Amino acid sequence: MQKSYWQKQRPLWECPQLNEDQETDIAIVGGGLTGLLCAWMLKDSGRRVTVIEKRRFLENNSARNTGKVSALHGAFYHTLPADIAQSVYQLNRTAVDHYEQLIRTADIACRWQRTSAVLAAQSEEGAAILNQEKAALSALGAQLGDPPSFPLPLTWADQLAMADQALLDPWLFQAGLLEALKDKVTLYEESPVVEIQDHCLISDGSYRLRFKDLILTTQFPAFDRLQLYAARFHYQREAAAAFRCDPALDGLMLNTVDPGQALSLRFARKEDQPTLILAGPAIGIHHYPKDPYAPLLQTAKTLGVHQPLACWSAQDLIPRRHLPFIGQIQDHYWIASGYSKWGYTWAMIAAEMISTQVQDPAFVIPEYLRARRKGDLFSLYTLGNAATLTEAFFKDRFIVTPENQPRRTGTVVRLHGRRYGVVIPEEGLEFLVDLTCPHMGCPLHYNPADQTWDCPCHGSRFTLDGRSLYSPSNVSLQHYPGVNSLHPNLK
Ligand SMILES: Cc1cc2nc3c(=O)[nH]c(=O)nc-3n(C[C@H](O)[C@H](O)[C@H](O)COP(=O)(O)OP(=O)(O)OC[C@H]3O[C@@H](n4cnc5c(N)ncnc54)[C@H](O)[C@@H]3O)c2cc1C
Ligand code: FES
């Protein structure tokens, strides 16, 4: 999978694997934004805290986003009931300030920059949505200012701006947080958790980590204790790309709201080179195109930027009403998930609420965020997701590449009634990978743009040789390298 602009030319964090049985008080599974922020909040609690990460730190989704820390989440507040909108707005505004405090306290150099977040519309339909959002924000008492002007060849039907939001470099922020945590909490990487038993989690090396409390921050809840999250989310993936640009775009932090075409734009600097980052539009993972970068590169041309410095993809989970699940799924087990691509403020809110409740069981998480809320389960949203998942489960299940087509990486063959994907490395022997998703058995697709095998159901992704990248699958795919034991006639 391609590295993001933030990850390119930057080293990963070096940590040990869990390679013996251990004990801790609080185990945090997942070392993305949420996991690291939970560790930060709990590091001085007087309890032993351990973060256990499946891949390498800084390889995750949180180092692949656009680094906007904002309470302005697209056109969102007008879709919520007024009392919930008020509470969500206050929480998110405060979360932005809490980043600034954390960054100061931990002395993290992550190019934190306060600027105005802008929502803009090019179409009349988008302008109508913006109008509703303006009304909702005014009712919440939000101060809306004049949008700053940037030299972009775009015409807006309408815009709104919220002052005092922020930009940061996602890689530098997480690397700084890891640095601040390393002497206070135990960090393990390359240690996928494959099973959770009573107060004990088991890594794929069969080592056990005993815990008193468990916080699951695996984006998709890796173990869901029958809260049926698989049907509670809509799954979106987005292409992103970075380009050299005019330094006069400094401070640009903009999202468009035109239906079906929503784009994210921001200015960034790495090694002091002015850069424009573009992302979007979001696409349901079951419809993800073979070349997701082509429309983005086309948009870039219209903006007068050309050679991409990096192209990558990232994904997130969208719950009903865009309200995440935060809190306990059973005694001593917490989850946080479903940030609808606004993970900075939600991760801060989740980490604050969970770390407080872990230490004070009397602390109450608002009902509209609770992980065990029932309303979502019996909603049209969940039914719609279930229908999409059923279609993804059956579609392509019986399709294989016609035999008269040349075999190449991505060719799908059927052997003994099962689908396998062919991989032909630049060097070495062709091999096969089992294309049945270990999570719930959906048929995996080849993604030529990112060189991954992707699941169209709940977003699991795997490297070409089958290593698990994204949850919910916790295990890797079976692969059959070299001389093929499944089919001796295949080399
Ligand atoms: C294109 C795009 C742009 C975005 N831009 C923004 C933005 O500008 N601002 C914003 O606020 N949000 C943004 N987001 C959203 C944000 O990136 C995510 O919401 C956030 O990164 C989620 O953080 P997380 O900690 O929950 O998950 P992750 O960062 O995915 O971390 C989860 C971790 O858990 C690990 N894990 C999973 N399973 C296991 C297991 N079994 N054992 C051990 N470890 C495991 C994973 O390897 C991973 O490291 C964007 C999202 C997308 C798709
Ligand atoms: S079946 Fe759920 S991610 Fe593949």
Q: Mind listing the pLDDT tens digit for each residue in 88-141?
A: 999 999 999 999 999 999 999 999 999 999 999 999 999 999 999 999 999 999
333-342, 410-419, 444-453: segment of lowest average pLDDT: 410-419
Q: Which of 247, 282, 256 is nearest to 155 (CA)?
A: 256
- Over residues 459-484, the mean pLDDT reads 85
Classify burial at 374, counting beta carbons within 10 Å of its beta carbon; exposed 0-12, middle 13-18, buried 19 or more: exposed
What is the best residue among 224, 315, 396, 437 to mutate for testing ligand 2's pocket, by most ligand atoms within 8 Å of CB? 437
What is the percent of the chain where pLDDT is above 70? 97
Give the pairing of strands 113-121 and 253-256: parallel
Atom 3 (ligand 2) nearest CA: 458
- pLDDT for 484 equals 54
Rounded Cα gap, residues 204 and 212, in angstroms = 21
- pLDDT for 482 equals 57
Locate 402 and state its tokens: 């016609």
What is the best residue among 224, 442, 468, 477 to mutate for testing ligand 2's pocket, by most ligand atoms within 8 Å of CB? 442
Looking at per-residue pLDDT, the higher value among 387 and 368 belongs to 368
CATH number of 22-369: 3.50.50.60
**For residue 334, what pLDDT band results from cuts at 50, 70 and 90?**
very high
Average pLDDT, the chain: 92
Centre of ligand 2 to C-alpha 440, Å, is: 5
pLDDT tens-digit readout, 177-234: 999 999 999 999 999 999 999 899 999 889 999 999 999 999 998 777 666 788 888 8
Cα 104 to its chain centre, rounded Å, is: 25
**For residue 491, what pLDDT band results from cuts at 50, 70 and 90?**
very low
63-67, 79-83, 482-486: segment of lowest average pLDDT: 482-486
Maximum Cα–Cα distance for the chain, whole Å? 70
pLDDT tens-digit readout, 162-177: 999 999 999 999 999 9
On whether the CB atoms of residues 370 and 326 are closer than 8 A, the answer is yes
| Domain range list for the chain | 22-369, 412-480
Structurally, what CATH architecture does the domain formed by 412-480 represent? 3-layer Sandwich (2.102)
- Establish whether residue 473 lines the binding site of ligand 2, counting it when its CB lies within 6 angstroms of any ligand atom: yes
**For residue 406, what pLDDT band results from cuts at 50, 70 and 90?**
confident
